[in-house]
DNA sequence: AGTTCCATGTCGCGG
DNA sequence: CCGCGACGTGGAACT
C-alpha cells in the first residue's frame, strides 16, 4: 500500500465527468491497484478508481485508465508525504448478516409468528422476485411472509407486488401478506394495515434463544 | 487527518455485528471525526464510523461510539506508522450528472421516443412528486414519462403513483405512463407491462449525437 | 428533522 | 458471466 498526501487536482471521465480543484488530499494506492482520493471529511472518497486498472506515473501526473473507457487523472503539484508499506493479506471480515439469519430462524420457528403455521417454501419465486417465506396457516390459507431487519414502506410495496401475482394462482389464492421485522416503522404499519397486510415485530435474540433451547433438548 | 498503519483487531456492534481478526491495516481519522479501517484490497473500508461520533483513546485500544448505539472497537497490537497532517478545507467536487442530462436531451428530442410527441412540461408537479416529462402524443393523449439511467422496479412504482394522481385530473385523463431508461431491467419490464405502462430503452450517445447534428446545422 | 430518491453506488448470490 | 436485490448502503434534495 502506498500512502501519500499531496496538493493535487483530479479529473475523472467515465460514467460521469468530475473535476476536483487544487487542494491537499490523501491518496492511497492499494496492493490490488485500487486508487482512492480522500478529503478530510466524510467516509466516502472524493474520487477513486477500483481494480482492475492501469496506472501510468509520469512527472507529477498520474494517469489511471480501466478498459471500460474510464480515466482518472491526478496532477500532483506538491507532495508532502509519500510512503509505502506492505500490509499482507487480510483474513477478511466476519459478519452476522441479520436478514438472512432472521429468515432462516423464522423458517424454523414459524410457530413464533402464528400458531400452527407451516412452511411451503423459502424464496418462493414470482415474476417480480422471490417471496421470503411462503406458508400455510392453521386454517389452510396461504401466507406470504416478507422478512426485513427494519420494516419500511418499500417492504410493504414489495409484499404488495408479490401478493398481486400470487393471488392470480388459483392453487394458492387467496394469499394474505405478513411483514415481519425487528422494527416496523409507523408509516409502514399504516400502509400495511390500509392494504390488509399484517405486520409483526419479532425479537432476534428471543428466536436465537428459542433455537438454542431446542438444541439443548438433544 | 491522522494516518496510521497498525496490526489490529476490530469489532463493530451496531446495525450488525462484525469482527476483524488481527492483521495489518490502514487506519484514518479525519478532521471531522470519521474513522476508516482499510485493508490492501477493495475501494470500500473494512470497517468505519462516520461523524458524529466520540473517540476514547486508551492504552492500545480505541473505543468509538455514536449516540445511536453503535460501537467500534480497535485494538492496536503494534503500530508501524502514525502521522498527522492538516489538509485544510476541500473546495469540493464538481460533477455533471447523467440522469438530468438525459432528461434534458429527451425533452428536446421527444420524437426519438414517439413520432409526433410534444412537451407539456418538464418536472410537472403532482402531490407525490414531480413527473419528469409530461407530454402530449400524436393522438392528443397525455403521457407521463419517467426518466431513469437504469429502469428498475422502483421507477415503475414511482410512475404508478404519479399516474394515480394525474388520472384524477379530468383535464389530463386518461394519462398513460412511459418508463424511459438506458437499460430497463426484466423485472421492471414485467411489472410495467402488467400495469399497462410502456417502457423504452434509449441510447444516450445516440441522443447526444442527434443533438450535435442539430447544432452542426447552424 | 424526516422522507424520498440517486449513485462512478459496492457487494454477494444464484442462474 | 449476467441478473438481481441487499446494504452498517451514503448523500443530496426537498418537505
* Tens digit of each residue's pLDDT (9 = 90 or more) over B21-49: 899 999 999 999 999 999 999 999 999 99
Identify how many contiguous H helices and E strands chain A contains and give both numbers: 4, 13
3-class DSSP state for residue A179?
A: strand
- Categorise residue B42: left if φ over 0, alpha if ψ from -120 to 50, beta otherwise: left
pTM for the model stands at 0.71
Phi-psi region of B108 (alpha: psi -120 to 50; beta: other; left: phi over 0): alpha
Note the pLDDT of residue A216. 47
Q: Is residue A37 one of the residues assigned to a domain?
A: yes
Q: Write down the pLDDT at residue B42.
A: 93
pLDDT at A193: 83
Is B199 part of any domain?
A: yes
Q: Return the SS3 of B188.
A: helix
Q: What is the pLDDT of residues A159-197, one digit of tens each?
A: 888 888 889 888 888 999 998 887 777 777 877 888 888
From chain A residues 38-67, the ones with a CB under 8 A of any chain B CB are 38-43, 45-48, 50-51
Task: Round to whole Å and give the CA distance between A69 and A169.
Answer: 47
Distance from C-alpha of B166 to C-alpha of B153, rounded to nearest angstrom: 20
Q: Say yes or no: Cβ of B185 under 7 A from any atom of strand C.
A: no
Q: Hey, CA dihedral for B36, B41, B43, B46, is it positive or negative? A: negative
Largest CA distance in chain A: 76
Beta bridge partners of B147: B180
CATH number at residue A121: 3.40.1350.10
Question: How far apart are the C-alpha atoms of B16 and A100, rounded to whole Å?
Answer: 12
Query: Do A104 and A68 sit in the same domain of this protein?
Result: no
Q: What percent of chain A is predicted at pLDDT more than 90?
A: 41
Report CA Rg, chain B.
Answer: 26
The set of residues, in sequence order, having a beta carbon less than 8 Å from that of A42 and lying 6+ positions away, is B30, B32, B34, B50
> Does B165 or A138 have the greater pLDDT score?
A138
- Using CA atoms, how far residue B160 sits from B93, B177, B179, B193, in Å, is 35, 8, 10, 12
Q: Residue B89 domain-assigned?
A: no
| Residue B192 phi, psi (nearest 5) | -60, -50
Nearest C-alpha in B relative to A7: B87
Return the C-alpha cell found at B18: 462484525
Task: Provide the pLDDT confidence category of residue B208 given band limits of 50, 70 and 90.
Answer: low
A132 and A191 share one domain: yes
Q: How many folded domains does chain B comprise?
A: 2
pLDDT of residue B165: 82
CA B141 – CA B135 distance, rounded (Å)? 8
Domain end position, chosen among B52, B84, B116: B84
> Which residue segment(s) compose the domain that A101 sits in?
97-209
DSSP secondary structure letters along B82-97: EEE---------EEE-
Q: Which of A84, A119, A142 is the last residue of a domain?
A: A84
**B171 and B69 within one domain:** no
Look at residue B148 and tell me if it is in a domain.
Answer: yes
A107 and A204 both lie in a single domain:
yes
- Cell representation of residue A6: 499531496
How far is residue B156's CA from residue B177's CA, in Å, rounded to a whole number?
9
**Residue A20 sits at the chain B interface (C-beta within 8 Å):** yes
3-class SS at A101? helix
| Residues 151-170, chain A, touching B (beta carbon < 8 A) | 157, 161, 164
Q: Indicate if A77 and A111 belong to the same structural domain.
A: no
Same domain, B200 and B120: yes
What pLDDT digit, counting tens, does each position of A60-96 carry? 999 999 888 889 999 999 999 999 999 988 877 776 5
Q: Based on the domain organization, do B50 and B101 belong to the same domain? A: no
Same domain, A169 and A194: yes
**Are B126 and B74 in the same domain?**
no
User: Which of B38, B11, B55, B148 is CA-nearest to residue A44?
Assistant: B38
Closest CA to B191 of A146, A135, A198, A160: A160
Say whether both B104 and B70 belong to one domain: no
- Please name every residue paired with A24 in a beta bridge, in sequence order, or none if there are none: A7
Interatomic CA distance for residues A214 and A56, integer angstroms = 60
User: A193 is written with which cell numbers?
Assistant: 394495515
A55, A11, A14: which is closest to A32 by C-alpha?
A55
**Chain B residues close to A79, C-beta within 8 Å:** none
**Is residue B91 in a domain?**
no
Residues B96-155: tens digit of each pLDDT: 666 667 777 888 888 888 899 999 988 887 777 778 889 999 999 999 998 887 888 888
For residue A71, is it within any domain?
Answer: yes
Q: How far is the CA of A54 from the C1' of D14 (A)?
A: 41
Whether B190 and A26 lie within 8 Å, measured CB to CB: no
Considering the domain architecture, whether residues B6 and B51 belong to the same structural domain is answered as: yes
Name every chain B residue with its beta carbon within 8 A of the beta carbon of A1.
Answer: 5, 26, 40
Q: What pLDDT does A173 receive?
A: 87
Please choose, from the candidates B39, B82, B36, B31, the residue with its C-alpha nearest in 3D space to the C-alpha of residue A39: B31
Residues A104, A74 share a domain: no
Check which CATH number belongs to the domain holding A22 and give it.
Answer: 2.70.180.20
- Residue A18 placed within a domain: yes
Contact present, A44 and A57 (Cβ < 8 Å): no
Quote the DSSP letter at residue A155: H
Phi and psi at residue B159, in whole multiples of 5°? -65, -40
- Whether A159 is in a domain gets the answer yes
Q: Using the 3D structure, point to which of A54, A84, A114 is the last residue of a domain.
A: A84
Amino acid at each position: 500500500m502506498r500512502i501519500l498526501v499531496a496538493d493535487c487536482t483530479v479529473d475523472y471521465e467515465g460514467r460521469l465527468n468530475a473535476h476536483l480543484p487544487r487542494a491537499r488530499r490523501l491518496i492511497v494506492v492499494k496492493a490490488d491497484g485500487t486508487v482512492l482520493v480522500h478529503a478530510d471529511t466524510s467516509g466516502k472518497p472524493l474520487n477513486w478508481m477500483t481494480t482492475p486498472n492501469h496506472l501510468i506515473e509520469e512527472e507529477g501526473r498520474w494517469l489511471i485508465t480501466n478498459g471500460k473507457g474510464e480515466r482518472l487523472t491526478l496532477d500532483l503539484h506538491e507532495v508532502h508525504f509519500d510512503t509505502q508499506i506492505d500490509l499482507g493479506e487480510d483474513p477478511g471480515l466476519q459478519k452476522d448478516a441479520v436478514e438472512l439469519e432472521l429468515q432462516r430462524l423464522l423458517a424454523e420457528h414459524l410457530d413464533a409468528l402464528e400458531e400452527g403455521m407451516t412452511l411451503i417454501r423459502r424464496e418462493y419465486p414470482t415474476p417480480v422476485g422471490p417471496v421470503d417465506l411462503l406458508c400455510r396457516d392453521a386454517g389452510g390459507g396461504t401466507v406470504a411472509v416478507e422478512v426485513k431487519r427494519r420494516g419500511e414502506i418499500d417492504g410493504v410495496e414489495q409484499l404488495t407486488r408479490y401478493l398481486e401475482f400470487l393471488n392470480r394462482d388459483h392453487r394458492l389464492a387467496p394469499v394474505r401478506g405478513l411483514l415481519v421485522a425487528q422494527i416496523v416503522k409507523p408509516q409502514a404499519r399504516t400502509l400495511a394495515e390500509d392494504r390488509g397486510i399484517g405486520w409483526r415485530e419479532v425479537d432476534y435474540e428471543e428466536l436465537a434463544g428459542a433455537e438454542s433451547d431446542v438444541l439443548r433438548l438433544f
